Every structure is written in structure tokens, then in C-alpha cells.
Amino acid sequence: NAGVTQTPKFRILKIGQSMTLQCTQDMNHNYMYWYRQDPGMGLKLIYYSVGAGITDKGEVPNGYNVSRSTTEDFPLRLELAAPSQTSVYFCASSPETANTGELFFGEGSRLTVL
């Protein structure tokens, strides 16, 4: 069972570069999320999606973009990397947002912007 898979696991970017963090899930979940985790700050929601073709902003969306062309994939795009985007990024999924079940997380992507 693959669950939620994120790539790459590690990446170093220079200021102003662009990149895409990939996320795919094989559980046929409708809802997918991108979080960032900073030391001592817990997890902050960047973007989420309630299904293919539908995305919405979370708490900290500035500097990021997402797309959801299929149920399985939810890539996160950084257009002009800034040092403030140095963080660990987690993708997660859930069967439905009103469900009382849990989120399923990927193993994370550690991004450093220099």
C-alpha cells in the first residue's frame, strides 16, 4: 500500500528559481492538502482540493500555486523561491472533509532556499 507519495524528498533551490513538489495518492481520496511545517510552528495549510478541478487557498497560500487535474495527483508549484519558503512540506489526503476520520500524510519534502 503506497498511500501518499511525495517527491522529491530533499531539494535545494536558489532564490528566484521555480520548482514543483509532486504528490500522488492511490486511495481514491477526494480531498487533498498541502501543509508546511516550520520549527515550533506546527503545520500550516497552504492549499487544499475537494476534488479534481477544484482547489482553494488555505492559511498561507502566498508564493504557491496548485492544480488538481486528476483525483490522484496534487502538485504544489513554487514560482519564485524565497528564503521564507525554506520548510518541510507535507501532502495529505482524506476521503471527505466532513468525515470524522483521519488525514493520511506523505513523508514530506524538505526544501531549502539559498
**Interface with another protein (CB under 8 A):** 4, 31, 33, 40-43, 45, 48, 56, 58, 90, 92, 94, 97-98, 100-108
What's the min distance (Å) between Cβ of 67 and another protein? Answer: 17
Q: Rounded to the nearest whole angstrom, what is the least distance from the CB of residue 105 to another protein in the complex?
A: 3
Contact 19, 11 (CB under 8 A): yes
Nearer Cβ to another protein, position 11 or 17?
Answer: 11
Instruction: Say if residue 78 is exposed, middle or buried (CB neighbours under 10 Å; 0-12, 13-18, 19+).
Output: buried
Query: Minimum CB separation from another protein for residue 69, in Å?
Result: 20
Report d(CA 27, CA 48) in Å as an integer: 17
**Nearer to another protein (CB atom), residue 77 or residue 104:** 104
Do the Cβ atoms of 81 and 12 come closer than 8 Å? no
